[in-house]
């Protein structure tokens, strides 16, 4: 099985990451830069996994 990440997948990853980071920031309201950084990392991992799952399911 080959996975091909194209520019549309990258745009989807960025959109999912931004939305997830926004939702996490609204829910948890981090007070420090470490909290913001942790939420951003979690959002990016979630976005990558979501796009990867979509790619695997449609391949």
pLDDT digit string (tens) for 3-51? 677 778 888 888 888 888 888 888 888 889 898 888 888 888 988 888 8
Question: CA 33, 37, 43, 44 torsion: positive or negative?
Answer: positive
What are the sequence ranges of the domains in the chain?
7-58
pLDDT at position 24 is 85
pLDDT band at 1 (very low <50, low <70, confident <90, very high): low
Compute the C-alpha angle 29/33/34, nearest 5°. Answer: 95
Pair 28, 35: CB distance under 8 Å: yes
Predicted TM-score (pTM) of the model is 0.73
């Amino acid at each position: 099985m080959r996975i091909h990440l194209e520019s549309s997948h990258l745009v989807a990853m960025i959109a999912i990451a931004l939305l997830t980071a926004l939702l996490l920031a609204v829910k948890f309201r981090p007070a420090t830069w470490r909290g913001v950084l942790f939420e951003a990392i979690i959002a990016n991992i979630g976005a990558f996994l979501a796009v990867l799952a979509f790619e695997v399911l449609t391949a």
